[in-house]
Structure 1
Amino acid sequence: MTSDRPDVLVVGAGVSGLTTGVRLAESGRRVRIRAEQEPWESHSAAAGAIWDPIYAQHPRVSQWAARSYDVFVELEQQGFPGVRVIDGVEASRVPISVPDWAVGLPGFRVCEPGDLPPGFVFGWHYTAPIIDMPAYLHELQRRLITAGGELVFGPRLRSLDDAFADAPIVVNCSGVGARELVPDPSVQPIRGQLVAVRNPGLTEFFAEYTDELGEMTYLLPQGDTLLLGGSAEKGEADPVPDAQIAADIVQRCSLIFPAIRDAEIVGHRTGIRPSRPEVRLEHEDLGDRHLIHNYGHSGAGVSLSWGCADDATEIVLGL
């Protein structure tokens, strides 16, 4: 990409910003992404990243999630690094109805009682994308650059007004940073923690269904590594792992898959989810400048990433 002023500046290089940048660049726009850190150092890189849209609120969540599901399936068929589509179970500790988004998914069927681990009373099988985020973000960045996009890393912007020094169109994908940058006090940090262990042989995922982000149990196989989760600490923005939370995660997961008790721990991950009462994807017409917001995805940033990127790109192309 030349040093000329880009058509669009994307703020943020997490999964929402990087995906939106790819869509814009591949649509022929000159795109620059500004962020403090490389994508694989972002909060997105710490995500367990199973496709599961339940923790975001917006009238278009189902459409965004369905679009993203389809793209992930296409990416796996292309051999895109970090993308797997595998079978597994989502289950609840209390009686519930099957969520609308789950019915009709590939491999869907309601579990028999014997299919469920102790403590769970209802669940369903389905096939879902699971993303190894560091590898995936590396490849997504390569795809952006191949399409002519540019990434610039440096100090955090003081305001969105400063972003217009780069381009007349700004797409705000700042995640939890939107709380201060917009500013938007409705954005709240929620810390999530995972434990990575050597996979003792699990080939299917298990995810606990809960109505809102909180203490939940999930096991996500990613080849030789198995990610164990999880936690959700509201208001906590410190990314340092908590040893007691990690021990509790391993204990809960061991009740479902006992071989985990002896599995070697190979790492810990923490990331900050950008919780918001509703996803914000909208256009602000500022006359000779345009601001498009794409943030507030709570725990569903990966699950909605391609659908939201498509909508944000459609807004830009229509200007």
Structure 2
Amino acid sequence: MSGMRVRVAGAGVVGLTSALRLAEAGHQVEVIAAGLSESTTSSIAAALWYPYRAYPETAVTRWSAASFAALRALSADPRSGVRLCPGRELFRRPAPDPWWRSAVPELGRVSADQLPEGYLDGYLLTVPVVDMALHLAWLVARLRELGVGVEVQRLDDLDAAFTGVDVVVNCTGLGSRELAGDRTLSPVRGQVVVMEQFGLTEWLLDQSEPAELTYVVPRQSTVILGGTAEEGEADLEVRPAVTEAILARCRALVPEVAQARVLDHRVGVRPARPAVRLETEVRARGPVVHCYGHGGAGVTLSYGCAEDVVEQVRQLGQG
């Protein structure tokens, strides 16, 4: 069977890229989600390509490499919201090459004279940075060009999504705790500060303190400052004390932050899982291709995982 009827549940970057690749492969696709764009976790992300809090390493490296290539190609289209940006990850002690080294074309080392005080090592690399407001809108527009409907509809039961379709693709992120009964999923709270662009052209990242990340990521008209990784926390209220701590850490790395204007404060919840779930479950109503649990690497894994989703659906069509 070819040209299967597929309903994708979830309109974050994983759901939309899966729907896009499925439509490009010739399937009849529609997307349903409890909310679009600004209401998704993806919209909060700094969206710096980086395999953060996603497992297993071998699969994540493969998905990350595929997404890197896809995003690099999209950077030629300014409407996509994707651009390539140089940056540095800084370490307070010597660091080996990262486990995902093969996913990037080049990885250099920060020279000693370019290391801020207190740092002993650093990676130097150019990666895709995605303005999620632009990219999510671009994805929805591209889907509609391909005849894919994108509708707001809350789903309380995966089996209910089978009406009129052959396959359901579950990209509901943290929502899969209830929809798929997956208690291995857990929330990891992330808070960021959005500032006006002050001429920053490179990103910086310091993960020395796992719960209190420090990153400064430039976009076209804004700069994203972060962040946090609060295990088991799902509170979406902005915490002023956390904001002040983020600003202090980022000022220490990039002094110009002190002179820039704060535009917004945002909070999102990452869908953490011991391993990304990308597999087919056969239910009484039909097959569900699950694709969730991407941790803090939804953008980084999205296009690579979408390719595997298409392959899973292709295999179902041959069965």
- CA–CA distance in structure 2, aligned partners of residues 103 and 124 of structure 1: 14
Moved more, 94-103 or 278-287: 94-103
Distance 1:159 1:266, change over 3 A: same
The answer for unaligned runs of 5 or more in structure 1 is 1-5
Distance 1:209 1:166, change over 3 A: farther
Contact 1:40 1:138 in 2 (8 A): no
- CA–CA distance in structure 2, aligned partners of residues 37 and 105 of structure 1: 33
TM-score (ref. length: structure 1)? 0.93
- CA–CA distance in structure 1, aligned partners of residues 96 and 207 of structure 2: 11
Given candidates 40, 43, 46, the residue that maps to 1:45 is 43
Deviation at 1:125, TM superposition (A): 0.6
Contact 1:213 1:299 in 2 (8 A): no
Contact 1:75 1:83 in 2 (8 A): yes
| Residue 222 (structure 1) aligned with residue 225 (structure 2) | no
Partner of 1:30: 28
Partner of 1:146: 145
Contact 2:214 2:246 in 1 (8 A): yes
* Misfit runs of 4+, over 6 Å: none
| Residue 76 (structure 1) aligned with residue 88 (structure 2) | no
Moved more, 39-48 or 182-191: 39-48
- CA–CA distance in structure 1, aligned partners of residues 297 and 61 of structure 2: 11
Give the match's secondary structure for 1:318.
helix
Give the match's secondary structure for 2:150.
strand
Amino acid at match of 1:236: E
- CA–CA distance in structure 1, aligned partners of residues 104 and 287 of structure 2: 37
Partner of 2:262: 265
Distance 1:23 1:276, change over 3 A: same
Contact 2:54 2:60 in 1 (8 A): yes
- CA–CA distance in structure 2, aligned partners of residues 167 and 73 of structure 1: 33
Contact 1:160 1:181 in 2 (8 A): yes
Partner of 1:3: none
Question: Any idea what the Cα deviations from partners look like across 1:164-212, whole Å, max 9, x if unmatched?
Answer: 22422011101011111111000001111110111222111111245x9
After superposition, the CA RMSD in angstroms is 1.7
Deviation at 1:95, TM superposition (A): 2.8
- CA–CA distance in structure 1, aligned partners of residues 240 and 284 of structure 2: 51
Given candidates 14, 28, 49, the residue that maps to 2:12 is 14
Partner of 2:86: 87
Partner of 1:57: 55
Partner of 2:170: 172
Deviation at 1:122, TM superposition (A): 1.3
- CA–CA distance in structure 2, aligned partners of residues 213 and 184 of structure 1: 25
Given candidates 270, 275, 286, the residue that maps to 2:272 is 275
The answer for unaligned runs of 5 or more in structure 2 is none
- CA–CA distance in structure 2, aligned partners of residues 269 and 166 of structure 1: 37
- CA–CA distance in structure 1, aligned partners of residues 205 and 189 of structure 2: 18
Identity, % of aligned pairs?
Answer: 39
Partner of 1:119: 118
Deviation at 1:294, TM superposition (A): 0.2
Distance 1:271 1:104, change over 3 A: closer
Give the match's secondary structure for 1:298.
coil
| Residue 240 (structure 1) aligned with residue 237 (structure 2) | yes
Partner of 1:284: 281
Partner of 2:302: 305
Contact 2:215 2:227 in 1 (8 A): yes
- CA–CA distance in structure 1, aligned partners of residues 72 and 79 of structure 2: 10
Contact 1:195 1:269 in 2 (8 A): yes
Amino acid at match of 1:167: V
- CA–CA distance in structure 2, aligned partners of residues 303 and 289 of structure 1: 30
Give the match's secondary structure for 2:89.
strand
TM-score (ref. length: structure 2)? 0.93
Amino acid at match of 1:115: Q
Partner of 2:249: 252
Question: Any idea what the Cα deviations from partners look like across 1:72-94, whole Å, max 9, x if unmatched?
Answer: 11000133431110111012223
Amino acid at match of 1:102: R
Amino acid at match of 1:225: T
Contact 1:14 1:44 in 2 (8 A): yes
Question: Any idea what the Cα deviations from partners look like across 1:99-118, whole Å, max 9, x if unmatched?
Answer: 14236834521112221223
Give the match's secondary structure for 2:187.
strand
Deviation at 1:161, TM superposition (A): 1.5
